[in-house]
Amino acid sequence: MSKYSAVFGDSTANQPRTSRTRFIREIARDRKALFGLVVLSFFGFLAIFGQWISPHDPNAMQFDMLQPPSLAFPLGTDDLGRDLLSRVIHGTQISLFVGVSTVAIALFFGLALGLLAGYYGGWIDFIIMRYIDLQWAFPNFIIAVYLVAVFGAGLLNIIIAISLAFLDDFARIARSMVLTIKHEQYVDAARVTGAADTRILWRHILPNSVAPIIVQATVSVSYAILGEASLSFLGLGVEADTPTWGLILADGRSFISRAWWLGLFPGVAIMLTVLSINFLGDGLRDYLDVRDVKDV
């Protein structure tokens, strides 16, 4: 052990534990983030174990049509006699899967474009950013609707459409972070020692750009869930035999005046999921804020 470790302690060994302790303390202190974590964990549990805890087949038609909530059907039934609770549970799987997968794809390609544009500049930056500017001129939902209309409905096409719609947000954030970091002294030192560009991007620039990208990814998941629900509600979503929250709302909109539960429960599920993700994203933003000087 060096004299510096003896005096100041082994900060490298204690850093992961300190970070975990501070994260738990920040989440426990922030009631909104704690609420978001609990609610999101509940819906994650439904998404993972939904097929085992669902009381009925979500597409099974019964004679009890438009039945209000009861002991037999806790959330009621729709116009075809399908159990609404089972459909909402299975819809959780689709909504969370679409939200996470679309953001993962958009994050990967948007991050790659942003890193290349910001690091190399020149004509590479010009071409990439002109495409990003063109996409930026249209609302994300309009882009998703157009792509789904061109390629057709279906789960895969929805994921691709929403991913392309959100790609520009990650590219812009990544590029701005690279432009800020690439002239730092530690990057210049790595370049002088002969480190390859890929190593500099992967080991020095990307780790220091993680905080705003994580926050943007968290917010984008909620937008992706809303996007899937909106497309399904408009009839541009998944197939009719695939229960999603947006499709459940679309199927029950003609009966909402006399069957209030058809719009209430899937709407509440969408609201709670999006709200919990946004609350958790706010907590992550506060935790990852480098300007936060609270004691750890």
DSSP 6: H
Beta bridge partners of 77: 83
The DSSP symbol for 63 reads S
Percent of the chain residues past pLDDT 70, beyond the cut: 89
Average pLDDT over residues 42-57: 90
CA angle, 246 as apex, 81 and 48 as ends, to 5°?
85
Average of per-residue pLDDT across 99-121: 92
The three-class DSSP label of residue 83 is: strand
Using CB atoms within 10 Å of the CB of residue 89, give its burial: 0 to 12 exposed, 13 to 18 middle, 19+ buried: buried
- Per mean pLDDT, which range of 15-19, 43-47, 270-274, 280-284 is the poorest? 15-19
CATH of 35-51+82-288, one of 3.40.50.300, 3.30.230.10, 1.10.3210.10, 1.10.3720.10: 1.10.3720.10
**pTM score, whole prediction:** 0.81
What pLDDT, on a 0 to 100 scale, did the predictor assign at position 293?
A: 42
> Bridge partners of 109?
none
pLDDT in tens, 74-109: 999 998 899 999 999 999 998 899 999 999 999 999
Q: What is the pLDDT of residues 267-292, one digit of tens each?
A: 999 999 999 998 888 888 777 764 44
Query: Does residue 34 surpass a pLDDT of 60?
Result: yes
Q: Determine the pLDDT at residue 4.
A: 35
CB 7: neighbour CB atoms within 10 A? 7
**Cα 53 to Cα 89: distance, rounded to the nearest angstrom:** 9
Burial status of residue 262 (CB atoms within 10 A of its CB: 0-12, 13-18, 19 or more): buried
The helix/strand/coil state of 168 is helix
pLDDT, tens digit (0-9, with 9 covering 90-100), for 173-218: 999 989 888 888 888 888 888 888 888 888 888 888 888 888 889 8
